[in-house]
Chains A and B, each alone.
Chain A
Amino acid sequence: MALLQISEPGMSPAPHQHKLAVGIDLGTTNSLVATVRSGMSTVLHDEHGHALLPSVVRYLENEIVVGHAAQAAQSQDPVNTIVSVKRFMGRALNDITDRAHIPYHFVENASSEGILELKTRAGLKSPVEISADILKALKIRAEKALGGELTGVVVTVPAYFDDAQRQATKDAARLAGLNVLRLLNEPTAAAVAYGLDNASEGVYVIYDLGGGTFDISILRLSKGIFEVLATNGDSALGGDDFDHRIYCWVLDQVRSKTADFKPLTEADTRLLLTKSRQAKEWLTDNHEANILCKLSNGALVDETLTVQQFVSLTENLVSKTLSPTRKAMRDAGLSMEDINGVVLVGGATRMPHIRHAVQAFFKQEPLTNLDPDKVVALGAAIQANVLVGNRSEEDLLLLDVTPLSLGLETMGGLVEKVIPRNSTLPIARAQDFTTYKDGQTAMAIHVVQGERELVADCRSLARFELRGIPPMAAGAARIRVTFQVDADGLLSVTAREQTSGVESNITVKPSYGLSEDQITTMLKDSFGAAESDKAARMLREATVDAQRLIEAIQAALAENGATLLAQDERDTIQAHLEALHTLCQGTDSQAIKHGTEALNHATENFAAKRMDASVQKALAGKNLDSLEL
């Protein structure tokens, strides 16, 4: 017997046509999946009642372990147990600056430069594949809990994610066999979870300190519509950093007490980090935490950390969150009095000193009644439920913004911004450009993302060329470049020369997202098209030539074929004419060319006679003096 859920009035699904939709919070530290059941957003638990799935993947010889079991193996198998993979999504090898502190073996992808992969015992794994393994685990959980296949999912991403990182997330979901309805900014999802769309008008701040990322978003609501006024953040700051501070402190204590302190093994590092995280969590409700463990060399660690010590150790991390907050406020052009509410998201916001800092900054008590770990997934589920079509009215439309400016390279390696940062999505913006040199017929378009003025300092997203610009004086061509960003925050760029209508476009999909096969297929396609395009063009040219000749000869024959040519000559020409005419109906451009040549050859004598005749006609009755030679 199937289990039924309560639908909105008039929205009961037909049997076997339940549209199952879930929201997934693919987090740095933990991931969650939630759905809307009987109108209520709920997080789905696993068999053991856990809501959080640690975003940890362990690769064994023939098995992939995800979640708690993988996390438990972190200390004993750090190289093959990947944590916080989200930090590497859409990143190049040289983007990872703190590689020395990370136990993984990074490798540069052999086929695409800069793309990183991790060497595990199961082979090379890209961050996209590792994330897909986390998503697969959530997919299985959701399908068990909902009793059917998922129709669609909404996956959340930090507001600060650039196009490469967003595309990587989408690829990971696709690899996991999920149909992505939409990528949604995490803070926007949090606002939805709090039902802020039910409130009247207002401006809300979402302060999201997760495991590995910090995001601040300022949302304006009016008539149930969210508009993101500004986003800012730090994609390399989170709860993990607080753990790390404790870890460093413990290490210092141990070092100062031990005469010959030996460097830690990878397993010891993991163990101490885990103990540090536990201490941090303990300090949320307690005054002091004891860190007690035995290292692999037998040394005993036994340290007590007080709340005061912890606060002073991490004070500057807290203030590091406030500077992006100030920037976002400035971008939105708002002052403290304009803020109607502050929402806290992310497990790290449970730390009392964070709450105090936020409260002091905004001069009001933040909203905390939903579980800060679950808020984002709950909001994503609500959005997925709307997008999949389970609600008819009060559909909420979410407006997001571009996190970074999008532009293109102009002469001298400068960036011309086309879509400024914090523009609401979806958006299309056009800008006119012109040629640089006289007679220039092509233009290279280099799409970049970033706030800096020099191309070298921005992130390169794509390059393409506009060809076939009619030659004209420099500055005369009008090339309109249109940037379009869809609701997922993904970009497509079109360039069009206004006078000729020549057009070229690209959808920004960073190369790492393409598999080897896809690239090969694309190349083959372009080669295939080139061949057929070339053949079509040759045929068209040959036919046009042949037809022009046929028409000219027919006209000549009609004019003086009878007077100048003998019957057999006329018959030969006529035969060639008809042969060529038949060839023109076919598709063999070579044969048409030969036929044209043959007809040309057959009429050489006729052409000479016509020339003589016209000369004689022109000269008839004139003396030499009257000719102006």
Chain B
Amino acid sequence: MAITLTETAAQRVEKFLANRGKGIGLRLGVKTTGCSGMAYTLEFVDDMLPEDSIFESYGVKVIVDPKSLVYIDGTELDFTKEGLNEGFKFNNPNVKDECGCGESFTV
């Protein structure tokens, strides 16, 4: 399995990284704090850890720690617009149930 980005998402990440002026890639992860179990995190990466897994999608490095990977393996990250709002969206095949807002989920 792997973590992938859609082409749109990859372009955006590349643009944001260039704007930021530094960073190796994008870190996807989960935190155990959501209203229904888990919550996604999305961060720039300055330092990698030895145990991190690295995936590459359209030239963008996607970095995931092993604990998070089990919950999000197979995820495709997309970038979409909804009305005036825009941002990243997790398409995670492991999700059984998610809260109404979609910010947290259970597997």
Residues of A within 8 A of B (CB): 1-12, 14-16, 37-40, 44-47, 141, 144-147, 198
Contacts and interface: CB of A to CB of B under 8 A. Distances in A.
Interface string B32-43: 011100011111
Contacts of A45: 84
Contacts of A145: 83-86
A40 B20 contact: yes
Interface in B1-44: 12-13, 15-16, 19-21, 26-27, 29, 31, 33-35, 39-44
Nearest to A8: B44
B102 interface: yes
Contacts of A16: 35, 101, 103
A15 B85 contact: no
A92 B42 CA distance: 51
B43 A10 contact: yes
A147 B16 contact: no
B87 interface: yes
A9 B20 contact: no
Given A5-B42, A38-B12, A40-B20, A144 B88 contact: no
A9 B45 contact: yes
Which 9 A-B pairs have CB atoms at the shortest separation, nearest pair first?
A3-B87, A1-B102, A12-B41, A15-B103, A145-B84, A38-B16, A147-B85, A40-B19, A15-B39
B20 A144 contact: no
B86 to A, nearest CB: 6
Given A14-B31, A39-B20, A40-B15, A3 B47 contact: no
A2 B103 contact: yes
Interface string B76-96: 000010111111111000000
A198 to B, nearest CB: 7
Contacts of B89: 1, 3-4
Interface size classification for chain B: 35 or more
26 contacts: A1-B101, A3-B82, A4-B40, A5-B42, A6-B88, A7-B41, A7-B43, A8-B43, A9-B27, A9-B43, A12-B41, A12-B42, A12-B43, A14-B39, A15-B33, A15-B35, A15-B104, A37-B86, A38-B12, A39-B20, A141-B84, A144-B83, A144-B84, A146-B85, A147-B85, A198-B21
Contacts of A6: 13, 16, 26, 42-44, 88
B57 to A, nearest CB: 15
B46 interface: yes
A321 B26 CA distance: 47
Nearest to A5: B87
A38 B85 CA distance: 13
A144 to B, nearest CB: 5
A15 B44 contact: no
B46 A9 contact: yes
B104 A4 contact: no
Contacts of B85: 3, 144-147
A379 to B, nearest CB: 14
Given A12-B43, A16-B103, A3 B84 contact: no
Contacts of B102: 1-2
A173 B99 CA distance: 34
A39 B84 contact: no
Contacts of B16: 6, 38-40
A15 B42 contact: no
B26 A44 contact: no
Contacts of B39: 14-15
A14 B103 CA distance: 9
B72 to A, nearest CB: 13
Contacts of A38: 12, 16, 87-88
A7 B44 contact: yes
Nearest to B15: A40
Contacts of A141: 84
